[in-house]
Amino acid sequence: MKRLHISLGVTAFEQSLAFYSALFGSEPSLVKDGYAKWLLDDPCINFVIEHRKNRGLDHMGVQVEDLTELNQLADRLKDADLTTKDQREATCCYAKSDKTWTKSPDGILWETFVTHGESEAYGTDRAPVID
């Protein structure tokens, strides 16, 4: 199963936490300092909010089940002559993941990723610069 991923920057974290919990009819599966994640089956989404100075869309993505599926999706992007950047063994957003990043024609970052486990720390890996 693939799961759509949306990451939003929010300036009012606590109010946003309450708003999205009401919208989804569910509490987040993970809440840390200035970070919340909902892993929902209906709609099938990995939805994240992060407390930031600037609000709005940070990036979007597709979460896959395993490394084989990630490699297939990454190969499809590369076969379409899209610029990609692989990020293996990344620690970010309280998770350990393998990722491939690309950018849409309008400049929206897209992350394709498989998560291998949780992390107690937010992590230091960030989205790479893609020209």
d(CA 87, CA 27): 30
At 23-62, the pLDDT tens digits run 899 999 999 999 999 999 988 999 999 999 988 998 899 9
Contacts of 101 (CB under 8 A, 6+ apart): 84, 85, 86, 87, 109, 110, 111, 112, 127, 128, 130
- Kindly list the domain boundaries of the chain, sorted by start residue: 3-118
What share of the chain has pLDDT > 70, as a percent? 100
CATH assignment of 3-118, among 3.10.180.10, 3.40.1280.10, 3.30.360.10, 3.20.20.70: 3.10.180.10
Note the pTM of the prediction, 2 decimals: 0.79
